[in-house]
């Protein structure tokens, strides 16, 4: 079958020699720009905004697909909306918004973006930790994934630790006295905590195939033992000292009163 029209846009009709108009099922250009031939899925971003989880990627060719999954599997149908756009350079961007259900708390959400060239996955896990001491340890991943890059943040903008495949872990200056240690799996040990360090700690682990993000809300409670009892002890000691001083004063007053009574008695006898 030969074509009478060689140039067309997506959605156009072309005519065959039989005279019928038909819609092309696929369109494969005879050549591709170099930028398109090397545009696999390189990075997938995932984050939560209120009750929605957003997953996205860009600069992809050919057109990608996106799927959602949960750990453990959910019996509730995942409600999501996915949009795909193509730039003037014919590269694709894809974004999906997933509604988080209150019926399945504690789920871990994964988003996978794939083309016929490759695929990448991004996973989001949320935790809550309550610490009643001045030190604690925060988990970064519950799976044994190989770590290429590691990034810890506080309240989404303060960098705590940044480690890449080229550089060893770098602890920021303002967190050096709070970071106790960092394990090979990315677990963060903290020390010298106070209510000022209460907030959201985000860990991002990534390698060539996957990005794993753990968001932990850390609540720091006041220590109910130890030093909080010291003021009570001080009050008790102070109270005992005051009582002793009162007893001494009363004793002296009694002695003086008795002495006066003795003098008055002697004068009366004379």
| pLDDT tens digits, one per residue of 78-128 | 999 999 999 999 999 999 999 998 777 789 999 999 999 999 999 999 999
Average pLDDT, stretch 133-150? 85
Q: Examine the domain organization and report whether 59 and 143 are in the same domain.
A: no
- 66 Cα distance to chain centroid: 23
Q: Which of 83, 117, 151 is the last residue of a domain?
A: 117
CA distance 84 to 58: 10
Q: Examine the domain organization and report whether 94 and 56 are in the same domain.
A: yes
Q: Examine the domain organization and report whether 111 and 165 are in the same domain.
A: no
Asked whether residue 101 is domain-assigned, the answer is yes
Q: Examine the domain organization and report whether 134 and 112 are in the same domain.
A: no
CATH of the domain at 91: 2.60.40.10
Tokens matching residue 75: 């019996």
Torsion, CA 211, CA 54, CA 80, CA 127, rounded to 10:
70
Q: Examine the domain organization and report whether 155 and 103 are in the same domain.
A: no
Q: Which of 95, 117, 139 is the last residue of a domain?
A: 117
pLDDT digits (tens, 9 = 90+) for 218-258: 999 876 543 232 233 222 233 333 344 445 445 555 555 55
Strand ranges for the chain from DSSP E: 14-15, 21-22, 45-49, 52-60, 65-71, 80-86, 92-99, 108-114, 119-131, 136-138, 149-154, 158-163, 170-171, 179-182, 188-190, 199-206, 210-220
Average pLDDT, stretch 59-82? 94
Mean per-residue pLDDT over the chain, rounded: 77
**212 in Cβ contact with 205 (< 8 Å):** yes
Structural domain total, the chain: 2
Q: Examine the domain organization and report whether 106 and 163 are in the same domain.
A: no
Confidence at residue 36, expressed as pLDDT on a 0 to 100 scale: 63
Q: Examine the domain organization and report whether 146 and 173 are in the same domain.
A: yes
Cβ count within 10 A of residue 151:
19
pLDDT value at 3 more than 60:
no
Confidence at residue 185, expressed as pLDDT on a 0 to 100 scale: 86
Q: How far is CA 150 from CA 64, 135, 166, 205, 260, in A?
A: 27, 21, 12, 5, 86
Percentage of the chain lying above the pLDDT 90 cut: 52
Q: Examine the domain organization and report whether 209 and 129 are in the same domain.
A: yes
Asked whether residue 266 is domain-assigned, the answer is no
pTM of the model: 0.68
Q: Examine the domain organization and report whether 50 and 89 are in the same domain.
A: yes
Q: Which of 101, 117, 133 is the last residue of a domain?
A: 117
Confidence at residue 145, expressed as pLDDT on a 0 to 100 scale: 76
Tokens matching residue 15: 């005519």
Asked whether residue 49 is domain-assigned, the answer is yes
Domain that holds residue 98: 31-117
Percentage of the chain lying above the pLDDT 70 cut: 68
- Closest by CA to 54, choosing from 4, 112, 95, is 95
pLDDT value at 259 more than 80:
no
First to last CA, the chain: 153
Q: Examine the domain organization and report whether 201 and 182 are in the same domain.
A: yes
- Closest by CA to 96, choosing from 61, 69, 126, 62, is 69
Q: Examine the domain organization and report whether 46 and 107 are in the same domain.
A: yes
Asked whether residue 239 is domain-assigned, the answer is no
Asked whether residue 1 is domain-assigned, the answer is no
Asked whether residue 85 is domain-assigned, the answer is yes
Q: Examine the domain organization and report whether 133 and 73 are in the same domain.
A: no
Tokens matching residue 266: 């002697």
Highest averaged pLDDT of the listed ranges 67-71, 227-231, 266-270: 67-71
Q: Find tokens 């794939």 and name the residue.
A: 114
pLDDT digits (tens, 9 = 90+) for 183-228: 988 999 999 999 999 999 999 999 888 999 999 999 998 765 432 3
CA distance 182 to 5: 63
Asked whether residue 25 is domain-assigned, the answer is no
Asked whether residue 23 is domain-assigned, the answer is no
């Amino acid at each position: 079958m030969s074509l009478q029209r060689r140039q067309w846009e997506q959605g156009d009709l072309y005519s065959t020699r039989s005279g019928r108009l038909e819609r092309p099922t696929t369109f494969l250009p005879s050549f591709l720009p170099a930028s398109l031939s090397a545009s696999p899925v390189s990075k997938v971003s995932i984050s939560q905004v209120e009750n929605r989880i957003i997953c996205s990627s860009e600069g992809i060719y050919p057109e990608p697909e996106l799927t959602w999954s949960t750990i453990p599997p959910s019996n509730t149908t995942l409600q999501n909306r996915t949009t795909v756009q193509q730039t003037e350079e014919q590269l694709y961007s894809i974004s999906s918004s997933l509604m988080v259900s209150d019926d399945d708390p504690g789920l871990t959400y994964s988003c996978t973006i794939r083309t016929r060239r490759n695929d990448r996955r991004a996973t989001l896990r949320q935790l809550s930790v309550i610490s009643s001491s001045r030190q604690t340890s925060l988990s970064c991943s519950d799976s044994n994934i190989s770590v290429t890059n590691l990034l810890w943040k506080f309240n989404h903008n303060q960098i705590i630790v940044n480690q890449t495949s080229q550089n060893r872990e770098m602890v920021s200056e303002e967190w050096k006295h709070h970071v106790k240690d960092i394990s090979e799996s990315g677990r963060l040990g903290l020390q010298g905590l106070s209510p000022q360090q209460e907030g959201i700690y985000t860990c991002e682990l990534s390698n060539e195939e996957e990005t794993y993000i753990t968001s932990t809300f850390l609540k720091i409670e006041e220590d109910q033992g130890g030093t909080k009892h010291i003021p009570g002890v001080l009050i008790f000691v102070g109270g005992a000292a005051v009582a002793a001083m009162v007893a001494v004063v009363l004793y002296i007053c009694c002695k003086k009163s008795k002495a006066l009574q003795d003098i008055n008695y002697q004068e009366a006898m004379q």
